[in-house]
Chains A and B, each alone.
Chain A
Amino acid sequence: MQYKNPIKPSVVDYQFGFSSAVESDRVALGLTEETIREISSRRNEPDWLLQWRLSAYRNWLTMTEPRWANAQLPAIDFQSMRYYAAPKKRPRLGSLDDLDPSIRDTFEKLGIPLTEQKHLANVAVDAVLDSVSIATTYQEELRTYGVIFCSFGEAVQKHPDLVKQYLGSVVPPNDNFYAALNAAVMSDGTFVYIPKGVKCPLDLSSYFRMNDAETGQFERTLIVADAQSEVSYLEGCTAPKRTTQQLHAAVVEIVANKDATVRYATVQNWYPGDEHGTGGVLNYVTKRGRCAGTRAKISWTQVETGAAITWKYPSVLLDADDSEGAFYSVAVTAGHQQADTGTKMIHRGKRTKSTIIAKSIAAGNSTSTYRGLAAIAPTAENAQSHAQCDSLIIGPRAHAATFPTLDVRTPTARVGHEATTTKLGADQLFYLASRGIRTDEAVGLLVNGYCREVTEHLPLEFAVEAKRLLALTLVGTVA
């Protein structure tokens, strides 16, 4: 695809672009077996996990980098990246007063207060800077409910049986190139376990912040909801402005047992690159949930506004009878961003249901692509799947594409897919202007109206944040 020179910058000043001077422990650049042993040793990991990493790494070496996304993918030199950087002064776990002030300030600037007095009400936060979890709030309170909410690293130390049981059960290490890489060099992420019958009393959230230059982020998140439990989880992320691209290859696995419900929401705002398309985060993520028990429910809600390239398909394996999967997505691209995102709903159980609502918005010189799959196996009698994908194109140089696949192997299944395209109504914009509303504000209003069916699935505080981000990303896109 040829991009014409933009007349004016169409990417708003990325307000999270600051970087913090934090002393870090780093491994050498490049990736060899040594690097992996080094990472594993610095994290004090048991041998079984080191072996798991090494096996994934050896597998990764045999795989070829995929290039099939509907995007211009940059070449990645895997040997010129750093795979681990941990802030030097590590606080004792659970004692937030020992936080390195520069780290505490970083998160405060991002609006994520970590000190006890300023906790976000009703939301427990696990803050991750580069490769390590810095702090996890509300851990003690949650423990009284039997809920485990901690960094992945802590889970490996304190709950190895649970980790062993579920790690790789939904996204095996050889699943795809970036999942294999993640399995080899995974850094911190979040571990959640909700015991039988417990409705988690707080929303859980993780906040990922990339800081160190040249370092990729490879977090691993594992959420296990035991029978009849319920949890809502939110993931937020930002990164500083850099002139080189940074790789974010995360893996998220969710297991929902009988009658359990997991709601996972992401508001993604990685640095998108500058007005010339230089820099920005490469967001190549594998996210998948497995409905392992009857009537389990997993929903993915995502608002993707950042990253230079977003390449991810949060999916649900509807293995058990009567289980349900949902995917609600808004993918906005402006400037030179590219997104190729969507979902896969794999129906194996009887009477399983999936719902997909995806909105793609492309402005500037960007491309926003939806790619989806609804697959109904012969065992999935009476399954139902419905998808609604809409594209909104703003401006003469933006591109949008929709690539759904419906693969049906059972006659009693009801599968439907609809897609429409729209543009911003000139008469609507004029009407708003005639009422004194500035173009940028008007665009924000119209776009948020367009995305309402998706944003209404976000918890309230995050819906507000998401809407603000949506409007912000599109500032300057309509002349």
Chain B
Amino acid sequence: MFTVNNLSVAVNDVPILKDVSLTIPANETHILIGPNGAGKSTLSLALAGSPAATITSGTIVWDNEDITKLPPELRARLGLFLSFQHPPEIPGVSTIEFLRTAVNEVRIAQKKTPFDPLPFLEHVRAVSSRFGFSEMLTMRGVNEGLSGGEKKRSELLQLLLLEPRLAILDEPDSGLDAAGLETLVNVITAAQKNGTAFLIITHYDALLKRLDTHGTYAIANGVVVKNSL
């Protein structure tokens, strides 16, 4: 479903990733491990289509379609989701309205009926309470005034609402306590059952032990190697 072919990426004219190749078949969960500074975040930004990452060669293919040059909003509407390590704050923009806009863009692209405001609010509440997210997360502006942990939970809530076909999680487990880890595992497991494939970037064993995974990649100095398990 998702293939990266010999991708090289530069940031601010500095080459970071060299010749990266990986494949994530539908419904599978793959892990990417590597030390700090290896290029993990650059990879996730490049796959999501961020303008900060310049692709100097190689391709990204989604269901046989070359999406290397596709802008980020169109990749999102295809069903690609990236969870940010440091999501930006957008004060004044209501989180609920932001979420509804995002969810509806995907639904319209997939020929599903968009949500009206009230049913959407109820839907958000239902999902939040099922996974133990506080209502506080959606009351203010986008990510406004949220602590690091709250921002991570906010990203997971978006994952659940957007129901992507591929979710790239950039170090979702760093700094989590036991309860946080529990929530993360529950969310990933539920999404896996719902048909979401994952590329999870992580350092720690704790998460890997709790999940069903299908393969591991290792990244060092901008080069990616498949690990035999």
**A contacts B: CB pair < 8 Å:** no
